[in-house]
């Protein structure tokens, strides 16, 4: 388990304003470190009151002021590229907090959920903070959960899906590199229906340029053909103005989804911000691709310096 005091000290160093923490729970599973805590910024007019947060391996995963923007941005935007967003067959790799799965169920999706860390997903079922937002989505008959490695699942399944969500952590340790490999993205593409979309979050290319170059080179060597970049509104000021974003990529194997529809335009207004507003080819970069047999450590990241 990570040293609690050391982790809190590092977290405080991220900000240029005082921040207070109250640790509720801290433990390690076989696969990751879990920190559930409360925080507030007593001198910051945007976040002066306590909010609940969750970190995995030291990286911020879920926090109350960002839940609506992150999860609805991740789920609603790719769904809105379909003429009919309802009733899709969806594969979720990761997503052990169950929140994104609940949102998919709102759209009548059939969800195949794959996660390796059974200890954490069982914890998430009853954690008071997460349960307030996932609303026991794991009990829904439309959800089928597999406790197994995501890489193995996508390389072995014969099922295809309208949507594949990669709701997985950043590459904070070598064991996660296969989930960012050419072979993994080839397998994800094989899982997509003819007009299917894969979705995942990403680090800012400006903050993690080496990671970005290696990641794009990996995608370029895989079966991914088209890419769409967007940002989702996260935390907002009391006025409603967005003050933080999370970046996402959408991928296809060649087909180009519609650029505009009433559903998509409404979703953009509510949750998202277009970056280029077009599907493009995966760009050429100077990075080297990451493969299972020849891993590229440039994909490795330290916990982000900003929440």
Residues 272 and 77: beta-carbon distance below 8 Å: yes
Q: What is the pLDDT of residue 305?
A: 39
Q: What is the pLDDT of residue 8?
A: 83
Is 4-63 CATH 2.30.140?
A: yes
CA distances from 228 to 32, 41, 50, 210, 279 (A): 30, 35, 35, 20, 5
Q: CA dihedral in degrees (128, 247, 5, 117; nearest 10)?
A: 60
Mean model confidence pLDDT for the chain: 87
CATH code for the part of the protein at 64-299: 3.40.50.150
Residue of 47 and 174 predicted with greater confidence: 174
Q: What is the pLDDT of residue 67?
A: 85
Pairing label, strands 161-167, 89-94: parallel
Residues 41 and 47: beta-carbon distance below 8 Å: yes
Task: Measure the CA angle with vertex 174, ends 7 and 113; round to 5°.
Answer: 90
Q: What is the pLDDT of residue 170?
A: 81
Q: What does the pLDDT average to over 214-226?
A: 96
Q: What is the pLDDT of residue 238?
A: 58
Return all residues near 126 (Cβ < 8 A) that are at least 6 apart: none
The count of residues in the chain is 307
Give the separation between CA 295 and CA 75, rounded to whole angstroms: 30
Q: For residue 261, what pLDDT band results from cuts at 50, 70 and 90?
A: low
Residues 218 and 289: beta-carbon distance below 8 Å: yes
Tens digit of pLDDT for each residue in 114-168? 999 999 999 999 999 999 999 999 999 999 999 999 999 999 999 999 999 999 9
Q: For residue 4, what pLDDT band results from cuts at 50, 70 and 90?
A: confident
Q: What is the pLDDT of residue 307?
A: 38
Tens digit of pLDDT for each residue in 8-49? 887 788 777 888 999 999 999 999 999 999 999 888 766 778
Residues 120 and 110: beta-carbon distance below 8 Å: no
Ordered by start, the domain boundaries in the chain are 4-63, 64-299
Q: What percent of the chain has pLDDT over 70?
A: 87
Q: What is the pLDDT of residue 275?
A: 55
Give the separation between CA 187 and CA 291, rounded to whole angstroms: 13
Q: What does the pLDDT average to over 275-279?
A: 70
């Amino acid at each position: 388990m990570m040293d609690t005091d050391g982790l809190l000290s590092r977290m405080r160093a991220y900000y240029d304003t005082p921040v207070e923490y109250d640790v509720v729970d801290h433990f390690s599973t076989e696969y990751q470190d879990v920190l559930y805590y409360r925080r507030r910024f007593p001198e910051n007019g945007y976040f002066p009151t306590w909010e609940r947060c969750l970190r995995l391996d030291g990286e911020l995963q879920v926090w109350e002021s960002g839940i609506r923007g992150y999860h609805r941005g991740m789920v609603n935007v790719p769904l809105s590229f379909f003429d009919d967003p309802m009733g899709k067959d969806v594969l979720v790799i990761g997503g052990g907090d169950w929140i994104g799965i609940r949102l998919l169920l709102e759209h009548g999706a059939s969800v195949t959920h794959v996660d390796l860390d059974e200890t954490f997903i069982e914890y998430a079922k009853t954690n008071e903070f997460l349960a307030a937002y996932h609303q026991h989505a794991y009990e829904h008959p439309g959800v089928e959960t597999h406790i197994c490695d995501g890489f193995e699942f996508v390389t072995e399944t014969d099922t295809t899906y309208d949507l594949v969500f990669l709701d997985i952590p950043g590459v904070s340790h070598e064991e996660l590199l296969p989930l960012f490999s050419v072979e993994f993205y080839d397998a994800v593409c094989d899982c997509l229906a003819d007009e299917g979309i894969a979705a995942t979050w990403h680090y800012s290319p400006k903050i993690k340029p080496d990671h970005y170059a290696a990641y794009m080179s990996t995608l370029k060597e895989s079966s991914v053909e088209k890419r769409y970049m967007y940002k989702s509104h996260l935390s907002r000021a009391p006025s409603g103005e967005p003050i933080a974003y999370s970046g996402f990529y959408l991928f296809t194997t060649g087909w180009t989804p519609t650029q505009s529809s009433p559903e998509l335009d409404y979703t953009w207004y509510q949750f998202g911000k277009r970056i280029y507003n077009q599907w493009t080819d995966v760009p050429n970069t100077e990075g080297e691709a990451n493969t299972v047999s020849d891993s590229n450590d440039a994909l490795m990241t330290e916990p982000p310096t900003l929440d």
